[in-house]
Structure 1
């Protein structure tokens, strides 16, 4: 099963969904439930933390260090609420996005410096593992307005416009419009780079 199917699949009946106090803190659970939750969460944490931080970095809102800090805070909140979260990846993306915006509005994080200074160049030794196409895409992504970039990154995670609209509190029409504009601009930039070579 792919991530999208796993993420949106009906949750299997589990020990935490059937207990009498579903919103009880983790400390109120019996030890076997605590162990099971800890194991489930640990697997999610190991498999998704870096992906979440990378996803935040691609938004261009925060520095790499701040993105990992926000991802870590998101995981802490996820652990505290783990028994009540039905779709952990969607919940983590939504929560991390909200945390970024809140921190930026309070001035707790410095906005990212010019992205051009942080993208590896084709001749750099640090760029040997990164394909030229990915570098070009990352640079093109940063030319989009923030909302278009955000919508496009949700779409690249295989979310449908209606799902993106629900997650970002937009109308499906606004999502489709933003996606169309973002994809058109990215295609134009990427096509222009191909013709230059």
Structure 2
């Protein structure tokens, strides 16, 4: 009888950490997306006229509809999120004007979000944004949030030319309203 040679000993490689499961990785990526985009969406909604409380509430509601397994399938998740958050904001303003839930350890049930401190300049800009017609305010809010005219047009279902025109009108009105034209002319 012929002897069968023994198989070579397998190398033992210690595993430092088991590979991440796809679901864990998706959740981790979603968490990072949430941390990065939540404050931006809130500011976006404030620029569109929401109070800080309303903006945070609508942004949270929008994120609830964007489940960790769904957001990766969207072609433009940032734009989608802002569109949904804005719709959530518009729906909530017809149902209430002030937060109804009391906050523990605060006299009178005030919301600590109302205590957000804005500089005088930020208040002036928000007031000026509030004076813009809706289409102009919308175009300016998207621009302030870092979207170009084409991206904004796609998200809003408008033509890039219409968005560009609304933005230019908004910009001109803001310059006039905030008195920036006088400062720019006197500085020359």
TM range (shorter): 0.5 to 0.7
Contact 1:37 1:82 in 2 (8 A): no
Choose from 153, 159, 163 the match for 1:171. Answer: 159
The residue aligned with 2:112 is: none
Which string of whole-angstrom CA distances, capped at 9 and with x for unpartnered residues, describes residues 145-179 of structure 1?
Answer: 12211111111223222221111111222212211
Which has the larger helix fraction?
A: 1
User: Following TM superposition, by how much is the alpha carbon of 1:57 offset from its aligned partner in structure 2, in angstroms?
Assistant: 1.6
After the TM superposition, which residues 1-197 of structure 1 pair with which residues of structure 2 at under 5 Å, given as runs?
32-60=21-49, 62-80=50-68, 81-104=70-93, 107-110=94-97, 127=117, 130-191=118-179
Larger Rg over CA atoms: 2
Which string of whole-angstrom CA distances, capped at 9 and with x for unpartnered residues, describes residues 80-117 of structure 1?
Answer: 5223124332221122122223444xx33439xxxxxx
Contact 2:44 2:145 in 1 (8 A): no
RMSD (Å), alpha carbons:
2.6
Structure 1 residues 74 and 35: CA distance shift in structure 2, 3 A: same
Give the Cα separation in 2 of the matches to 1:146 and 1:99: 17
Unaligned runs of 5+ in 2: 1-19, 99-114, 184-188
TM-score normalised by structure 1 residue count: 0.64
Give the Cα separation in 1 of the matches to 2:180 and 2:160: 30
The residue aligned with 1:17 is: none
Give the Cα separation in 1 of the matches to 2:33 and 2:40: 11
